[in-house]
Amino acid sequence: MLPSFQRFLASGLGSGYSPIAPGTSGSIAACILLFFGLMLFEIPFLVGFVVFSVAANFWTAPAAEAAWGKDPGAMVLDEWAGMGISLWAWLWSIGIEGGELSLVHLLVAFGFFRLFDIWKPLGVNRMQKLSGGFGILFDDILAGWYAGIGWFIVFQIW
């Protein structure tokens, strides 16, 4: 049994309980938080968001896997970590120079993240097979990195 606060956190503040595409719902919730958080608090918010979501995953993922099974749909805090990581490319290319995160930037990051998280190429699928709850998180971290690379390429061309 997962304690209620741990369950609430693991589910991305409840966004993972969507009956349709909980991973996408969790990613959308992360996008909303990231968009407004970056508008209000800028770069420190992104850093804090990623650090918090990764650290909270280490606390919630093993318990969620034990209670809900391997890579449970309701567990979307890993999507939050991956979404945040996908925006590090924005930070490196635009954010450090003082550029604001636009809705287009966020939508491209979201699209690439969901693509790599669902498709699971280039080792993402292998990461998901890690045990002890680590597979829940590490496939999304790698998908986030790939999404960031895709984002960077698009905006270098654009």
pLDDT tens readout for residues 85-110? 999 988 888 766 667 889 999 999 99
DSSP the chain: ---HHHHHHHTTTTGGG-SS-HHHHHHHHHHHHHHHHHHHH-HHHHHHHHHHHHHHHHHHHHHHHHHH-SS-TT--HHHHHHHHHHTHHHHHHTGGGTPPPPHHHHHHHHHHHHHHHHH-TTTHHHHHT-TTTHHHHHHHHHHHHHHHHHHHHHHHH-
Residue 133: predicted pLDDT: 87
Split at pLDDT 50, 70, 90, the class of 45 is very high
Residue 99: predicted pLDDT: 76
Split at pLDDT 50, 70, 90, the class of 12 is very high
Average pLDDT score over the chain: 93
